[in-house]
């Protein structure tokens, strides 16, 4: 601060004011930042079973891998066709989510019937739009389909996370119901059951479930021998229908 011709002193004064009461505006999660934890719904989604690639998805992948037009050196970053468009990609993803819900019991037969019925209707709409426009939906049709897929996706989530779950019980009737639901789940996941076929077999399952519940309610929670025989006949018919639908040649429109 004081300078003369004989002595030069460099004096530095630190006037920094440290205020320990400043509110942190940290925008990261962890020590020194905020403390945030996932919600119960997010935790549930994190641990939810994931679907393997379906045969249709694998077929798309293999077809694209053998198509030279998909090479960047050929198309220069602008492929003429994609392995799977967003509409089909979402359809396969939604079917996988439904299959998981059926297998885990989070989707009841009635909920699955409703979801697959809507999926079948949407598939028919997509098929008709493409036929009417040389194989490619118009931008307006894509927007409409996307809105419907958004609504269906929300319904799948809501149905899988509501209070209604499929409980089969540790008895012969319940074991057979569980076994059929696992077969339906596998059929949906593999593509052997189209949405329309899945809706049909789940409608039959829903009717059997109602019959079982009504019979039990009328007999103090138990089934009479005659009721067991009738339900067993109905279950045999449902099992045959699942097998026939999974092995026929009629599949959902692409």
Asked, for residue 41, whether it belongs to a domain, the answer is no
Enclosing domain of residue 148: 83-247
Asked, for residue 40, whether it belongs to a domain, the answer is no
Asked, for residue 222, whether it belongs to a domain, the answer is yes
For the cut 80, the answer to whether the pLDDT of residue 85 exceeds it is: no
Asked, for residue 137, whether it belongs to a domain, the answer is yes
Q: Which of 1-10, 46-55, 69-78, 174-183 has the highest mean pLDDT?
A: 174-183
Q: With beta carbons less than 8 A apart as the criterion, state whether 166 and 181 touch.
A: yes
Task: Please report how many Cα atoms fall inside a 13 Å half-sphere around the Cα of residue 187, on the Cβ side.
Answer: 29
Asked, for residue 216, whether it belongs to a domain, the answer is yes
Q: How confident is the model at residue 121 (pLDDT cuts 50, 70, 90)?
A: very high
Element spanning 131, H or E: helix 109-132
Higher pLDDT, 61 or 106: 106
Phi (first) and psi of residue 210, to 5 degrees: -65, -40
Decide: residue 209, CB within 10 A, 0-12 exposed, 13-18 middle, 19+ buried.
middle
What region does 77 belong to: left with phi over 0, alpha with psi -120 to 50, or beta? left
Task: Please report how many Cα atoms fall inside a 13 Å half-sphere around the Cα of residue 90, on the Cβ side.
Answer: 18
Asked, for residue 64, whether it belongs to a domain, the answer is no
Within a 10 A sphere around the Cβ of 176, how many other Cβ atoms? 18
Q: With beta carbons less than 8 A apart as the criterion, state whether 202 and 113 touch.
A: yes
CB within 8 Å of 254: residues ≥ 6 apart: 88, 127
Q: How confident is the model at residue 45 (pLDDT cuts 50, 70, 90)?
A: confident
Distance linking the first and last C-alpha atoms of the chain: 85
Q: With beta carbons less than 8 A apart as the criterion, state whether 116 and 252 touch.
A: no
Q: With beta carbons less than 8 A apart as the criterion, state whether 167 and 78 touch.
A: no
Asked, for residue 133, whether it belongs to a domain, the answer is yes
* The pair of three-digit structure tokens given for residue 5, joined into one six-digit string: 């011709």
- Is pTM beyond 0.75 here? no
User: Rounded CA gap, 181 and 146, in Å?
Assistant: 29
pLDDT above 70 coverage of the chain, percent: 80
Helical H segments across 6-85, by residue range: 40-46, 55-65, 72-75
Confidence (pLDDT) at 55: 66
Q: With beta carbons less than 8 A apart as the criterion, state whether 217 and 138 touch.
A: no
- Average pLDDT in the 193-220 region? 91
Count of structural domains, the chain: 1
Decide: residue 126, CB within 10 A, 0-12 exposed, 13-18 middle, 19+ buried.
buried
Q: SS3 for 31? A: coil
What region does 135 belong to: left with phi over 0, alpha with psi -120 to 50, or beta? left
pLDDT in tens, 136-161: 788 888 889 889 999 999 999 999 99
Asked, for residue 58, whether it belongs to a domain, the answer is no
Higher pLDDT, 14 or 103: 103
What region does 32 belong to: left with phi over 0, alpha with psi -120 to 50, or beta? left
């Amino acid at each position: 601060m004081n300078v003369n011709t004989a002595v030069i002193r460099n004096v530095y004064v630190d006037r920094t004011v440290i205020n320990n009461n400043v509110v942190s505006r940290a925008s990261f999660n962890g020590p020194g930042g905020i403390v945030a934890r996932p919600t119960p719904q997010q935790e549930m989604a994190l641990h939810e079973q994931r679907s393997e690639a379906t045969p249709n998805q694998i077929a798309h992948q293999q077809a694209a891998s053998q198509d030279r037009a998909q090479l960047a050196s050929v198309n220069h970053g602008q492929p003429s066709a994609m392995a799977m468009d967003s509409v089909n990609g979402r359809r396969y993803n939604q079917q996988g989510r439904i299959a998981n819900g059926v297998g885990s019991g989070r989707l009841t037969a009635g909920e699955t019937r409703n979801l697959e019925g809507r999926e079948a209707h949407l598939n028919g709409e997509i098929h008709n739009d493409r036929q009417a426009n040389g194989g490619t939906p118009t931008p307006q049709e894509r927007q409409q389909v996307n809105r419907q897929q958004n609504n269906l996706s929300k319904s799948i989530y809501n149905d899988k996370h509501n209070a209604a779950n499929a409980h089969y019980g540790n008895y012969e009737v319940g074991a057979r119901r569980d076994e059929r639901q696992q077969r339906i789940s596998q059929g949906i996941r593999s593509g052997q059951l189209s949405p329309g076929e899945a809706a049909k077999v789940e409608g039959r399952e829903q009717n059997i479930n109602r019959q079982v519940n009504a019979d039990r309610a009328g007999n103090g929670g138990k089934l009479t021998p005659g009721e067991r025989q009738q339900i067993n006949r109905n279950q045999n018919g449902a099992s045959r229908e699942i097998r026939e639908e999974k092995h026929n040649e009629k599949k959902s429109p692409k």
